[in-house]
Structure 1
């Protein structure tokens, strides 16, 4: 699924992983909330995390966070 949420992906030299922060979900999840051994895996895992957070919001009757946008 192609979600329109922000992803911040940073390399962790200590963990030897790409760590993913999802700014819009900061109130729902401890950050960083996902990771990957490759950049591509980090993105795929982040998309799975977003799907899980959106499902949680739906199940709990919570309003999911709105995706932020960058002005051109």
Structure 2
């Protein structure tokens, strides 16, 4: 999917005992997916991001602009 230019944060959670996946470019989407391993979290995160983009497009909601490295610095 060509629109996958968004940040994906993967972080271990002791509380949840798994890796959590978040997309900081999307408002109100702190943790969107998870996985028992980093690899599983990554793959689940890609699927979640694709589903999130499809949901935005289906609802007619405008996708947020992805942050780029020049905007982060």
Range class of TM-score, shorter chain:
0.7 to 0.9
DSSP 3-state at the match of 1:11: strand
Match of 1:68 in 2: 67
Which structure 2 segments of 5+ residues have no match?
none
Which structure 1 segments of 5+ residues have no match?
none
**Stretches of 4+ moved more than 2 A in 1?**
none
Question: TM-score, normalization: structure 1?
Answer: 0.82
Q: CA deviation at 1:17?
A: 0.3
Match of 2:17 in 1: 16
Query: Aligned residue pairs: how many?
Result: 70
Listed as ranges, the matches of 1:1-72 within 5 Å are: 1=1, 3-27=4-28, 29=29, 31-71=30-70
Question: TM-score, normalization: structure 2?
Answer: 0.81
DSSP 3-state at the match of 1:58: helix
CA distance in 2 between partners of 1:26 and 1:36 (Å): 22
